[in-house]
Amino acid sequence: MPVEHIDAILNDCLLAAGQGIGTEKSVDFDVVVWWRARYRRFFLHAITAHGNSWAADRHRVTAVGRYLGQRALHHAAATASIDMHAAALASHDVETGCQMNAVREGPGPTAHPATA
């Protein structure tokens, strides 16, 4: 899948985040816009810097998307919906884990800090 198909990758990842959230809470629209812009930038960087390994990494990246949703749900426990605050905390949790994974894997075609 070339860089031009980044929106399909984002769709898969955000769908996975929604699966992680489930039906307990809704997601504020500004969160969807923010996540889409944020991870579009990260995924584009990973693809241009390390090559496209979507076919090999799809299962891992969508698992991380589900985890993003679960973390957002956790951080939104006291609110009616998943707002920007909960989304930012969830993103921080996931991105920290991805960075640790990338350091552990070392440089190479499978070390994608934003998509691990």
Continuous segment of H or E residues that includes residue 101: helix 84-105
CA 46 centroid distance within chain: 13
Residues 83-111 have pLDDT tens digits of 999 999 999 999 998 776 656 666 654 44
Domain ranges of the chain: 3-105
Q: What is the pLDDT of residue 115?
A: 43
| Max CA pair span of the chain | 42
Q: For 22, left (φ over 0), alpha (ψ -120 to 50), or beta?
A: left
Q: What is the pLDDT of residue 30?
A: 98
Looking only at the bridges linking them, the beta strands covering 81-82 and 26-27 are parallel
Strand-pair partners of 27:
82
Residues 12-53 have pLDDT tens digits of 999 999 999 999 999 999 999 999 999 999 889 888 888 777
